[in-house]
Structure 1
Amino acid sequence: MDHPFLRKMRHGARLTQEDEALLNGLLAPARAIAAREDVSQEGSEPFSLPLIVDGWACRYSTLENGQRQIIGLFVPGDLCEPFGMLPRFMDHSVATLTPVMMSPVRVAPIKAAVLASPRVEEAFWWDLLVATAIDREHLVSLGRRTATERLGHLFCELHLRLEMVGLVRDLSYEMPVTQADLGDLLGLSMVHVNRSLQELRRTGLMSLRGRRLTIHDLDGLRELSFFDDGYLHPEGANS
């Protein structure tokens, strides 16, 4: 099976076999990291871009009072720092939410691959565009969507992101994020998250059993959540 990173990047440009060989050449052997472990900590100096091969991770910041805000979720195929964004020091932390297989991607080989192929460059810029658009849409959710709408919107977004890398089956996908994680991501208490999940279940639009989320009416869930997939640019250069 293709690497999830390749499956994702194909949405950003019309890659040739030579382009995919260049991208494959960037991938170092993956290493296993246990759940709930920091991959990088705020204030540290990064030397590579962490690429999630399997499992889920998050970007987060912690306040002085110990409260955590999850700033973003990472799923297979995601670079935890998009191309062109490697800072001199980390202004946030990256941690695993589940057991993760992670591959470090060095910056110099990325720059060489981008110079070697305009299509590879296009795919990386598309990846950066999508990453920044997700951040902007997250701000909209925190500021203007209700708790139920935030959850529904997130489930619609994850459905499309996971579908891009082949991890959706019959509108169903793994959902390993805990209610506490959802609260830290969406700015909600666990009680509020639980109530909102129950409200979504009562609509019949989706169900969550164990670690598996199933969407029964995608159009209905999108309408309820004010979800428009345009910000994810799912077709990329292929539109």
Structure 2
Amino acid sequence: MTKTRSAPRIQTLVDKLSRRDRLSDDEIVALKKALEPPRSVAVGADIVREHTRPSASTLLISGFSARYSSLEDGSRQITEINVSGDFIDLHSLLMKQMDHGVVTLTECVVADAPHTRLIDITERHPHLARLLWLDTIIDAAIHRQWLVAMGRRSGLGHLAHLVCELYLRLQAVGQTGGLGFELPLTQSVLGDALGLSTVHVSRLISELRAEGVVQWSGGRVEILDWRRLAEIAEFDPTYLRLQSEPV
């Protein structure tokens, strides 16, 4: 892990929070002051290890990471994919000991927010604290949708749902172009997220291509037919809370 020289870049976080409610200038300043200088983390490194007790929460400035739980045989289940603007372990402020880890899926830039500074935000900026609390609630909503997908959706519906979700989450932080976005994840990583083998993931991607709903090549996804993709996924974006509502 290496530190960068620039100040924390929080625009992706501001963009995401602002989709839900307006941030004041004072609140944006408070977010900046809460963060340590950004640092780079290599691909495949743990940002947070299972069973540790973090003293800071981590903002993902760029790249992709994932929450995961490990099994004794060395396999893992990814329980959420993190994108730019996500506080990947904000819940550690109150959770204390982590019951899961967070690993980088690409090279990432992150910035730490010491828990002491986050506590100060809860005391001095209650509206901002409520917005950050909403962020953790949405994390829980994402986990519920992943549980439904894992247990009840077909493999094709599960993958389609993941594509719909990631597109809207990336769009909220300005990381899409039209209906396209970068998704530089291996089929092995997608398999860990979907609970499927890499062979099965490859077949499902080919099936989505054959349906004419996506063009998926070289780590980039272009959605060709959003309506049909959402239909396959039975996708309802309510859980992402992307509308503006005062908190």
Structure-1-length-normalised TM-score? 0.95
1:19-98 to structure 2, matched below 5 A, reads 19-83=27-91, 86-98=94-106
Cα distance in 2 for residues equivalent to 1:13 and 1:107: 23
Shift of 1:170: 0.7
Deviations 1:41-79 (A, max 9, x none): 112221111111111111111111111111111111111
Poorly superposed stretches of 4+, deviation over 6 Å: none
Q: From the superposition, tell whether residues 86 and 57 of structure 1 become closer, same or farther in structure 2 (CA, over 3 Å).
A: farther
Counterpart-to-counterpart distance in 2, 1:93 and 1:14 = 32
Q: How many residue pairs were aligned? A: 239
Q: Specify the alignment match of 1:154 in structure 2.
A: 162
Indicate if the aligned counterparts of 2:49 and 2:102 stay in contact, CA closer than 8 A: yes
Moved more, 76-85 or 181-190: 76-85
SS at match of 2:43: coil
Structure 1 residue identity aligned to 2:69: S
- The two structures, once aligned, show a CA RMSD in angstroms of 1.7
Listed as ranges, the matches of 1:97-136 within 5 Å are 97-136=105-144
Task: Report the Cα offset of residue 7 of structure 1.
Answer: 1.1
Per-residue CA deviation, residues 181-212 of structure 1 (Å, 9 max, x unaligned), is 11111111111111111110011111111011
Would you say the 8 A contact 2:10–2:32 is kept in 1? Answer: no
Quick one: distance in 2 between partners of 1:158 and 1:48? 26
1:13 is matched by which residue type in structure 2? D
In the alignment, structure 1 residue 196 sits paired with structure 2 residue 196:
no
Gaps of 5+ in 2: 1-8
For residues 237 and 71 of structure 1, do their structure 2 counterparts lie closer, same or farther at Cα, with a shift above 3 Å needed?
A: same
Q: Counterpart amino acid of 1:146? A: S
C-alpha displacement of 1:85: 5.3
Unmatched 5+ stretches in structure 1: none
The equivalent residue for 1:232 is 240
Once residues 32 and 76 of structure 1 are traced to their aligned partners in structure 2, the CA distance between those partners, rounded to angstroms, is: 13
Q: Give, in whole Å, the separation in 1 of the partners of 2:17 and 2:36.
A: 17
Q: Give, in whole Å, the separation in 2 of the partners of 1:106 and 1:215.
A: 39
TM-score by length of 2: 0.92
C-alpha deviation, 1:141, in angstroms: 0.3
Amino acid at match of 1:150: H
Quick check: 2:10–2:85 contact (8 Å CA) kept in 1? no
Cα deviation, residue 156, structure 1: 0.3
Deviation at 1:235, TM superposition (A): 1.0
Partner Cα separation in structure 1 for residue 68 and residue 62 of structure 2: 19
The CA distance in 2 between the partners of 1:186 and 1:218, in whole Å, is 21
Compare 64-73 and 19-28 and name the one that shifted more: 19-28
48-57 vs 3-12, greater mean Cα deviation: 3-12
Whether the 8 Å CA contact 2:54–2:92 is kept in 1: the answer is: no
The Cα offsets for residues 73-129 of structure 1, whole Å up to 9 and x where unpaired, read as: 111111111347543222111110100101111122122223222321221122112
- AA matched with 1:132: A
In structure 1, give the amino acid aligned to 2:58: P
